[in-house]
A and B are shown apart, each in its own frame.
Chain A
Amino acid sequence: MSTGSVSSTEHHHAHHFNSAEHEFDASMLGIWLFLCTEILMFGGLFVAFFIYHAKYPEVFAAGAATLDWKLGALNTIILLISSYTMAMGIHSCQTNKGKKAFNYLAVTFVCGLGFMVIKAIEYSGKIGHGFLPGKFFHPHDATFEAANQALYYSFYFMMTGLHGLHVIIGMGLIAWVAIRAKRGDFSSKFYTPVEGVGLFWHLVDLVWIYLFPLLYLVG
């Protein structure tokens, strides 16, 4: 845990650890365990997706056809770039380049924002066509053969919605470590928060890497 000291780059570890390295190891283990919980949580949604995809392949094919794979691909590229800048941000912190780290982290933040803007454009299109989840589904300019076509949009909005929530939380965390990086809180001796946020951001990217083909391309 940080002591919040502004001027000093020296990090004081908490009283129950022997050293800063000891504390760092514990924090990393904690973050990896947290990522496990995230995978298990998204895993539940993915299992449900595979079950219904196997049961009603035509519903998912018809649904995927209504998505714009180009926007999805663009978002994939944006997130891949953001993963690169995130990694470079961590590297800059580790090599005592606070200013550079701030720039990399700022770019990562902007990528997250870009992702959300494109997502908002996609959402408004879907909402405009009446492609809403479950009982709110009312397509007025398209016809579908399957009676339960709404199920696809339930999955689409639940999966991308939960993922989008993670992107927003990730952006908040990135803004937090970016400000701290600019303030000079991080050094080769202490960079736990930025490393932790980086791991979380990579997981958020990874989930999208799976969501993109499943929702946009498979069908």
Chain B
Amino acid sequence: MAVTTPESEHNYLNHEKGLWSWLTTLDHKRIGIMYMVSVMFFFLLGGIFALLIRTELAAPGPGILGDGQTYNQAMTFHGAIMVFMVIIPGIPAFLGNFVLPLHLGAKDVAFPRLNLLSWYCLMVGALITFTSLIYNGSDTGWTFYTPYSIEHASSGTVWVVLGAFVMGFSSILTGLNFIVTTHTLRAPGMSFFRMPLFVWGLYSTAIIQVLATPVLAITLLLLAAERLLGIGFFDPALGGDPVLFQHFFWFYSHPAVYIMILPAMGVISELITAFSRKTIFGYRAIAFSSLGIAAVSFFVWGHHMYVSGQSELAGVIFSFLTMLVGVPTAIKTFNWVATLYKGSIVFQSPMLFALGFLFLFTIGGVTGIMLATLAMDVHFHDTYFVVAHFHYVMVGGTLMAIMGGIYYWFPKMFGKMYSEGMARMSFVFIFTGFNVTFFPQFVLGAMGMPRRYFDYLEIYTHLNQVSTAGSYMIGIGFVIGLVTIIQGMMNGEKASDNPWGAKTLEWQTASPPPHENFNYEPQVTAGPYEYR
């Protein structure tokens, strides 16, 4: 780091110095970077649990996780960490925090103090979750289903529940902040239909965060009260109903799936158009389909309960509504493909991840329609088919978008360039390893292998070995990605202000941006993707 900083190189990274200046910062860009570091740390932890799970499943019978109890705890932590600490904050709180005000031509988000508070909520919630390890951990899976979670589950469960409760506030505050920012802090000339599509994705996500997360809060609060006070809402012995818990839980947690994927779709819209060097096809269709997905997302939760004893009529209605989600999703996919058509496609690493997303997410989406079908779900329910499906959406979708997004905005964040060769290598390992890991799980699920068990019958051995081998490939891929990022941050070559030749506002300012984002007041006179 240079001792003296000339005015031209004054940026948000050297605006203030020292760890304390980071921990108390109100700058959205710095808060974004703090999310980046914490999300990457949590991802590493969750990933280690994933590899432990796959290693246990490499052969039938007890393996490295010894007995089923240890396995159940590893699985619970893998799920809880990946959902609440990685995928939910991953794109909105990390990439969104950094990019949203730049996209809009604003100096910051509307409420910078709330923004910092939301990061501390995530940290405190994570700490509470990890406290459970002192009390025998938790073995319920991330869904905390009753009555098991109230009666028999290990005593750390209530800590995981309270941790998720606190982390929910982080999500609510971020969503609230983004809605207000989008409404009030657009630069002069930035009309709603000149906003980049990532903003539309974040906005739709924020609506779900604000409206659905409070329901999770009350659900988890009731669950904790159930466990500590025995209030009986979900306990059949006291006149309660365990299925009611499932309704409450999924009323948040299915929309939460769209908290995970909608911002990812926004990132993909940016990447596809930037690297096709072509205006996005069907801007309004993509923008409105984000809102459409957000709206429908509130009415599909019952598809998690086809076999939980809900009425057949409810099952039929939920099945129909779930398939309805396929319509706006397909609208997006077709528009992305149409954008590629006759584009001048550049296969830079962010674009590779975007194309990987298209391929994997389509498989995840189509198998989602299969699972939405009542008769098929009865067969697939609680098998590895479901595990493969949601990993194709969450990893093949969201994580691919996060990786593509990091590589895309990396030069803007740090003013430096990573090694393109390394980045491509990480893509090859992640993409190949992902398919090797999870495609066999579709087959295993169709063969009837149940999810969540630490052991299985001999006939499933071969495909499980393939799956485990693939998971190591993914692990190598992400380690290469991590090295690429750290190496780029430390001694990457200096990046220009607009290395991709992209058209959105963040590329018009310096790399890295100055403390107040723009040294001038941005005036917007055209749409976000004026390529040709």
A residues sitting closer than 8 Å to B (CB atoms) are 1, 14-17, 22, 25-26, 29-30, 33-34, 36-38, 40-45, 48, 51-52, 56, 59, 133-136, 147-148, 150-151, 154, 157-158, 162
Contacts and interface: CB of A to CB of B under 8 A. Distances in A.
5 contacts: A1-B111, A16-B108, A26-B183, A36-B211, A52-B239
Interface string B235-256: 1001111001000100100000
B239 A56 contact: yes
A34 to B, nearest CB: 6
A154 B233 contact: yes
Contact of B239 (A25, A29, A33, A151): A151
Kindly list the 6 A-B residue pairs having the minimum CB-CB distance in the complex, ordered from nearest.
Answer: A148-B239, A135-B230, A44-B218, A154-B231, A16-B107, A41-B214
Given A44-B248, A133-B232, 4 more contacts: A16-B109, A33-B179, A45-B218, A136-B230
A29 B180 contact: yes
Interface residues of B, number: 45
B232 A151 contact: yes
Contacts of A51: 241, 244
B439 to A, nearest CB: 39
B210 A37 contact: yes
Nearest to A38: B214
B232 A37 contact: no
A43 B231 CA distance: 18
Interface in B34-58: none
A16 B185 contact: yes
Contact of A37 (B108, B172, B184): B172
A25 B184 CA distance: 8
Contacts of B213: 37
A151 B240 contact: yes
B229 A135 contact: yes
Given A36-B210, A38-B214, A135-B230, A44 B219 contact: yes
Contacts of A148: 232, 238-239
A134 B232 contact: yes
Contacts, number: 118
A177 B370 CA distance: 56
A43 to B, nearest CB: 7
A113 to B, nearest CB: 25
B176 A34 contact: yes
Nearest to B232: A134
A29 B177 CA distance: 10
B524 interface: no
Contacts of B244: 48, 51
Interface in B201-221: 210-215, 217-219, 221
Contacts of B185: 16-17, 26
Interface in B178-207: 179-180, 183-185
A135 B232 contact: yes
Contact of B211 (A14, A15, A34, A40): A40
A17 B177 CA distance: 14
B242 to A, nearest CB: 13
B238 A135 contact: yes
A150 to B, nearest CB: 6
Given A135-B230, A135-B238, A33 B176 contact: yes
A43 B229 CA distance: 21
A16 B106 contact: yes
Interface string B56-100: 000000000000000000000000000000000000000000000
Nearest to A135: B230
Contacts of B109: 16
A26 B180 contact: yes
A48 B233 contact: yes
B225 interface: yes
Contacts of B226: 134
B516 interface: yes
Contacts of B166: none
A52 B225 CA distance: 17
A76 B164 CA distance: 35
Contacts of A154: 229, 231-233
A112 B222 CA distance: 26
Nearest to B179: A33
A40 B232 contact: no
Given A36-B210, A150-B232, A30 B217 contact: no
A151 B180 CA distance: 40
Contacts of B229: 133-136, 154
Given A16-B106, A36-B211, A41-B218, A158 B179 contact: no
B218 A151 contact: no
A73 B196 CA distance: 53
B110 interface: yes
Nearest to A151: B239
B238 A151 contact: yes
